[in-house]
A and B are shown apart, each in its own frame.
Chain A
Amino acid sequence: MGGSTQDNPRLAGAEQPLIGPGHSYGSVTDKISAIVLTQPTPKGWYLGFAISFGLVMTLMAAITWLLLQGVGIWGINIPVGWGFAIINFVWWIGIGHAGTLISAILLLLRQRWRTSINRFAEAMTIFAVACAGIFPLLHMGRPWLFYWLLPYPDTMGAWPQFRSPLVWDVFAVSTYATVSLLFWFVGMIPDLATLRDRARHRALKIIYGVLAMGWRGSAVHWHRYEMASLLLAGLATPLVVSVHTVVSFDFAVAIVPGWHTTIFPPYFVAGAIYSGFAMVMTLAIPIRAFYKLEDFITLRHLENMAKIMLATGLIVGYGYMMETFMAFYSGHSLDRFMILNRMTGPYAVVFWLLILCNIVIPQSLWFRRVRTSVPALFVVALVVNVGMWLERFVIVVTSLHRDFVPSSWGMYYPTRWDIATFVGTIGLFLTMFYLFIRFLPMISIFEMRGLVGESAERG
């Protein structure tokens, strides 16, 4: 009943309500907390969790074998020293960016529609950054010495090289992980208090009570809390832009043709948000169907996300265009060769698939019929996820495999261990997500109460 009025495609975007009719402070509280506290765990949850957890075991096996044998089990070689590890790192960290965009930038822009999707988008950020972090660590070859990257007065008298983007990356990614985790946790404190107050089992009361830290909803506390949320949003906004900028510096500061270009930072940030929104959509659509949350994650939310995907996708398209244009306009023979090799060389299929996934298919989002059709949006989101992964493959592999001297050219093929590690991190991501939707409130309850209050005041 509620769902059908929500998903009415004849209403124009802004006329669609952000929350289904007939909700009160109590009903939103009960509906969201029931998923964690009282509702029986659906069978599908166990099935999905089992599959994801199986993939985590694959990851464990792949990492164990890697530690025993060394990075030689991967397909990396000279000239392609970066391979899957860096492709996956950039892909995962990019996915995280949509979570911060939704929670921070849309908060500052007072976009109220972010309310029902910000919590799990932030969770997605943290899990994606966790998956991303695994790859550069493993790629180092001796991951147990990772702390050599940190600045501390060691017995060898050596320090990290602060002029290197790889060291900047350590600071950018660890700051990003820390701030995202803080933002997520602070956002959850009032909801953890709700779970504490509504839990009937004593152990649950204690666990949620400890996590809620004695939150009691005092007006003075709320005042500082809201100030802290605004400040965190203001800090996270430049942070999220800086993180993918620094990631792009890993490429752009090098002199390899195809990497050494000034368009990389903005085009990487746009690509990150593009892939992140695709992932939010990929997660939101099944969740809202599975847990009957159409009242909270309405068609208007999906349509807005589709519009952001379309806009950032066009920026990414502009990036591709400029890369090609500059390769010819620069008059640099190696740059020109690089772009022609991308389009017609041994990896041409990957390049054209990327154009199909990232540029051609998403143009369907111009049509309202596509933007208001849930299955179509799901398909487009999956296609963009694939496309953005292919983009990183093209950037890493086609630039490295044929650089300056033809005698040093080579080919790169991933091995089964590359694939096992990548699929394993998808399993890790989904496992953490399954645990999150089972044990924590996946929608911000107190912010949903705010939406109820607003719609009541409007009459």
Chain B
Amino acid sequence: MNAMQSITKKRPLYGLIAEFDNPDDLLAAAHHAHAEGYRRMDAFTPLPVEGLAEAVGFERTRLPLLVLIGGLCGCVGGFLLQYYPSVIDYPLNIGGKPLNSWPAFVPVTFELTILAAALTTVFGMLAMNGLPTPYHPVFNAPRFELASRNRFYLCIKARDSKFHLEKTRAFMQGLKAREVSEVEA
């Protein structure tokens, strides 16, 4: 099959995907592809592989910063939630304690800090990952259901500026891959 044929296909190409047997081969391949100049790629694995995200060009996640902000909002909000009723809206003298008896407000403030931070962690992680994703092109790859069992995949996307169907395919075939196949978008 040549380049012309694939262009005339009805469905556009998402990229090329290579299948590996183990995480070490995949990691080496990802490093190799990065060194070759490919930037728009992703790897798919059944378990987290250390260093793989960096190898496919991922810098760092801002999730911790988001969680810090979420936690601080929970903390301030939690305290105000108690301050407003106790001091402003519904002041009650309890055993002569000051209306703003802040030590008694610590437990609820703490719990709401944790709650807000945890909600930010989960929904932040899902949002940054773009989940839920009902449809994604890589699910079209042959045998991709093994990506959640025991196979490891490297996908170079067609929109990479260095992507060339034949040259990229040849490059990927030289990478200890079991098989290289096209992925329809």
Closest 4 CB pairs of A and B: A214-B133, A159-B85, A223-B53, A213-B132
A236, chain B: closest CB distance, angstroms: 8
> What are the residues of chain A within 8 A of B121 when measuring CB–CB?
182, 228, 231-232, 235
CB distance from A345 to the nearest CB of B (A): 32
Report B137-171 residues with CB < 8 Å from chain A CB: 138-139, 144-150
* A-B residue pairs in contact (CB < 8 Å), sample of 20: A26-B149, A163-B97, A168-B107, A171-B108, A172-B111, A178-B118, A182-B121, A194-B148, A214-B134, A216-B147, A217-B44, A217-B45, A219-B44, A219-B55, A221-B131, A222-B49, A225-B129, A235-B114, A242-B110, A446-B47
Q: Indicate if the CB atoms of A163 and B42 lie closer than 8 Å.
A: no
A227 at interface (Cβ–Cβ under 8 A)?
yes
The distance from the CB of A213 to the nearest CB of chain B, in whole angstroms, is 4
User: Which chain B positions have C-beta within 8 A of A214?
Assistant: 131-136
- Do residues B63 and A449 form an inter-chain contact, with CB atoms below 8 A? no
- In the bound complex, do residue A224 and residue B63 qualify as a contact, i.e. CB atoms below 8 Å apart? yes
> Does residue B112 face the partner (Cβ distance < 8 Å to A)?
yes
B136 & A216 in contact (Cβ 8 Å cutoff): yes
A235 to chain B: which residues have CB within 8 Å? 71, 114, 117-118, 121
State whether A178 and B104 are in contact (beta carbons under 8 Å apart), knowing that A217-B148, A219-B56, A231-B63 are contacts in the complex.
no
Q: In chain A, residues 175-227, which have Cβ atoms closer than 8 Å to a Cβ of chain B?
A: 175, 178-179, 182-183, 185-186, 189-190, 193-194, 196-198, 210, 213-227
B139 to chain A, nearest CB (A): 7
Chain A residue, CB-CB nearest to B94: A163
Q: Which residues of A contact B86 (CB under 8 A)?
A: 159, 162-163
Known A24-B150, A197-B148; judge A175-B46 contact (CB<8 A). Answer: no
Q: How far is the CB of B84 from chain A (nearest CB, A)?
A: 9
If A29-B149, A217-B147, A225-B125 touch, whether A231 touches B67 (CB-CB below 8 Å) is yes
The answer to whether B149 touches A25, judged by C-beta atoms less than 8 angstroms apart, is yes
Give the complex CA separation of A160 and B144 in angstroms: 54
Of the residues B49, B104, B115, contact of A162 by C-beta under 8 Å: B104
Q: Tell me if B64 counts as interface (CB < 8 A to partner A).
A: yes
Give me the interface of A with B, judged by CB distance under 8 Å: 24-26, 29-30, 151, 153, 157-163, 165, 167-168, 171-172, 175, 178-179, 182-183, 185-186, 189-190, 193-194, 196-198, 210, 213-228, 231-232, 235-236, 238-239, 242, 246, 249, 446-447, 449-450, 453
CB pair B46 A446 closer than 8 Å: yes
B104 cross-chain contacts in A, Cβ below 8 A: 162-163
Docked Cα-Cα span, A218 to B56, in Å, equals 10
Is the pair B56, A227 in contact by a Cβ cutoff of 8 Å? no
Alpha-carbon distance A196/B42, docked complex (angstroms):
21
Report yes or no: B129 in contact with A221, Cβ–Cβ below 8 A. yes
Known: A217-B45, A219-B53, A221-B131. 14 other contacts (CB 8 A): A24-B150, A162-B82, A162-B104, A162-B108, A197-B145, A216-B133, A219-B43, A219-B52, A219-B56, A219-B58, A220-B53, A223-B52, A224-B128, A246-B107
Query: In whole angstroms, what is the CA distance A100 to B146 when docked?
Result: 31
B125 close to A227 (CB less than 8 A): yes
List chain B residues, Cβ under 8 A from A168.
107-108, 111
B23 in the interface (beta carbon within 8 A): yes
Instruction: Please name all residues of chain B whose beta carbon is closer than 8 Å to the beta carbon of A246 when the two chains form the complex.
Output: 107, 111
Q: How far is the CB of A141 from chain B (nearest CB, A)?
A: 23
Chain B residues within an 8 Å CB radius of A163: 86, 94, 97, 101, 104
- Select A158's contact among B45, B90, B105, beta carbons within 8 Å: B90
**Residues A225 and B117 in contact, CB atoms below 8 Å apart:** no
Min Cβ gap B95→A in Å is: 8
Other-chain contact of A227, B23, B64, B97, B133 (Cβ < 8 Å): B64
- Residues 81-93 of B, flagged 1 when their CB comes within 8 A of A and 0 if not, give 1100110011010
- Do B115 and A231 have beta carbons less than 8 Å apart? no
B28: interface (CB < 8 Å):
no
A151-B77 Cα distance, complex, nearest whole Å? 13
Residues of chain A within 8 A (CB-CB) of B132 are 210, 213-214
Select A249's contact among B44, B107, B135, beta carbons within 8 Å: B107
- A-facing mask of B5-32, CB < 8 A → 1, else 0? 0000000000000000001000000100
Does residue B2 face the partner (Cβ distance < 8 Å to A)?
no
Decide yes or no whether B119 CB sits under 8 A from chain A: yes
Contact call B53/A193, Cβ cutoff below 8 A: no
A129 to chain B, nearest CB (A): 14
Q: Is the CB of B46 within 8 A of A213?
A: no
Q: Are A182 and B118 in contact (CB under 8 A)?
A: yes
Chain A residues near B92 (CB-CB < 8 A): 161
In the complex, A19→B63 CA distance in Å? 33
B48 on interface, CB distance cutoff 8 Å: yes
Which residues on the B side are within 8 Å of A151 (C-beta)? 81-82, 85
A447 contact set on B, CB distance < 8 A: 47
With contact pairs A25-B149, A158-B90, A159-B90 given, residues A218 and B107 touching in the complex (Cβ less than 8 Å): no
Which chain B residue has the least Cβ–Cβ distance from A25? B150
Given A159-B85, A162-B86, A227-B61, the answer on whether A222 and B53 have CB atoms closer than 8 Å is: yes
Whether B89 and A159, one on each chain, are in contact in the complex, defined by CB atoms closer than 8 angstroms, is yes
Task: Say yes or no: is B126 at the interface (Cβ < 8 Å to chain A).
Answer: yes
Q: Which residues of B contact A227 (CB under 8 A)?
A: 61, 63-64, 125
Q: With a 10 A CB-CB cut-off, give which of A153, A161, A163, A228 has the most chain B CB atoms.
A: A228
Min C-beta distance of B63 to chain A, whole Å: 5
Q: Who on chain A is nearest to B45 by CB?
A: A217
- When C-beta atoms are compared, the residue in chain B nearest to A210 turns out to be B132
Q: Which residues of A contact B42 (CB under 8 A)?
A: 218-220
Whether the Cβ atoms of A161 and B45 lie closer than 8 Å is no
Instruction: Kindly state the separation between the CA atoms of A242 and B111 in the bound complex, as whole angstroms.
Output: 8
**C-alpha gap A233/B76 in the complex (Å):** 22
Q: Which residue of the partner chain A has the closest CB to B147?
A: A217
Residues of A within 8 A of B47 (CB): 25, 446-447, 449-450, 453
Cβ A224 vs Cβ B125 within 8 A:
yes
